[in-house]
């Protein structure tokens, strides 16, 4: 792996998180996948409270979820965000999935997506989740390659809000390569 670790967002990381968020805006992207809506919040503390509360207290999409930052060990730079929903509803099996992730624009195409996904699959394994669903827009070739590299099997295709999507399942009971 490229030396990433998963870190829970915290107030101590506010400056780095906001810098990460700003890079998306600089690249004219207004959605940060796997971040629990970081791009939509102007108040950092409000966002952080939601991230921390949905892990155990509140529900989002009717499930608990863990949100992580992928941090490069060599320099502490936030490379990506990833969210793991602790279980699935019938709706999330079709639209939304169990894992959402994103890599900051300047760090894409360097293998970090795979590394980040493998790390969160280990978290899922520790939580005794035997398999997960990941849903990608059909035109998101990078995400599809990442999912397939990590063992994703295409289960179905569908449309959600006019966008063609692919639904992948990853069995995680065995160690990922």
pLDDT tens-place string over residues 93-134: 888 899 999 999 999 999 999 999 999 999 999 999 999 999
Angle between helices 44-53 and 14-26 (to 10 degrees): 110
Strand positions, DSSP E, the chain: 4-7, 65-72, 78-85, 99-103, 131-137, 153-160, 163-171
Which DSSP state fits 170?
E
3-state secondary structure of 17: helix
Instruction: Calculate ∠ Cα 59-146-116, nearest 5°.
Output: 55
The pLDDT tens digits of the residues spanning 14-25 come to: 999 999 999 999
For residue 1, pLDDT beyond 50: no
For residue 51, pLDDT beyond 80: yes
CATH number of this structure's domain 4-128: 3.40.630.30
The pLDDT assigned to 22 comes to 97
**Sequence ranges of the domains in the chain:** 4-128
92 contacts 61 by C-beta, under 8 angstroms: yes
What percent of the chain has a predicted confidence (pLDDT) above 70? 93
- Average pLDDT over the chain, rounded to whole? 91
């Amino acid at each position: 792996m490229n030396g990433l670790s998963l870190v829970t967002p915290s107030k101590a990381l506010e400056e780095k998180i906001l810098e990460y968020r700003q890079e998306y805006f600089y690249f004219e992207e207004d959605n940060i996948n796997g971040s629990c809506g970081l791009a939509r919040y102007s108040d950092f503390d409000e966002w952080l409270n939601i991230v921390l509360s949905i892990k155990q207290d509140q529900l989002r999409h009717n499930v608990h979820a863990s949100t992580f930052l992928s941090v490069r060990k060599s320099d502490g730079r936030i490379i990506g965000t990833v969210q793991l929903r602790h279980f699935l509803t019938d709706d999330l099996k079709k639209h939304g999935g169990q894992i959402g992730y994103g890599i900051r624009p300047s760090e894409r195409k360097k293998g970090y997506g795979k590394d980040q996904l493998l790390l969160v699959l280990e978290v899922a394994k520790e939580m005794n989740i035997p398999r997960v669903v990941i849903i990608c827009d059909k035109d998101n070739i990078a995400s599809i390659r990442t999912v397939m590299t990590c063992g994703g099997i295409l289960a179905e295709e569908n449309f959600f809000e006019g966008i063609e999507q692919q639904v992948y399942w990853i069995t995680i009971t065995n160690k990922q390569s």
